[in-house]
């Protein structure tokens, strides 16, 4: 019995998506939220909100430039709502930007950070909800 429980736990760990460590993992001052893979892209990352704006770090881009937007929405499993702000393009998986939306509004639980495979209107490859704890 114990053996089958251990095997099941091991298989569950192997089947779950990998969480990549990013450059944002060390000594941060601000709020960090995860970005999860969308549409089987295998791209994951983090977004840091600090007093200077947002820093987005994504693994799995292959160095390709990808658009980052802030969209209305409550959770990434739903279709993101309309684009509220265009932050710019990732360069080697990294973007530092400021948003025209106040920090309080961004953390209201009504916004998502969405990474798109090309332009801001293309499909999502990573997404993360912004919220207060």
Number of Cβ within 10 Å of residue 108's Cβ equals: 13
Contact 126, 38 (CB under 8 A): yes
Please give the Cα distance from 133 to 124 (Å, whole number): 25
Q: Note the helical H segments in the chain.
A: 2-15, 103-106
pLDDT digits (tens, 9 = 90+) for 28-70: 578 999 999 999 999 999 999 988 899 999 999 998 999 999 9
Residue with tokens 């791209």, as numbered in its chain: 43
pLDDT digits (tens, 9 = 90+) for 87-109: 999 999 999 999 989 989 999 99
- DSSP letter assigned to residue 63: T
More confident: 110 or 28:
110
| pTM score, whole prediction | 0.77
Domains and CATH numbers, the chain: 20-130 (2.60.40)
């Amino acid at each position: 019995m114990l053996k089958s429980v251990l095997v099941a736990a091991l298989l569950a760990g192997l089947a779950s998506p990998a969480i990549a460590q990013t450059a944002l993992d060390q000594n941060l001052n601000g709020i960090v939220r995860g970005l999860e893979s969308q549409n089987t892209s295998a791209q994951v990352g983090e977004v840091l909100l600090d007093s200077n704006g947002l820093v987005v770090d994504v693994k799995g881009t292959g160095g390709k430039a990808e658009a980052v937007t802030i969209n209305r929405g409550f959770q990434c499993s739903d279709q993101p709502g309309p684009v509220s702000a265009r932050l710019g393009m990732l360069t080697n998986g990294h973007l530092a930007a400021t948003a025209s939306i106040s920090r309080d509004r961004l953390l209201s639980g009504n916004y998502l950070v969405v990474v798109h495979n090309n332009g801001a209107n293309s499909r999502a490859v990573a997404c993360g909800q912004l919220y207060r704890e």
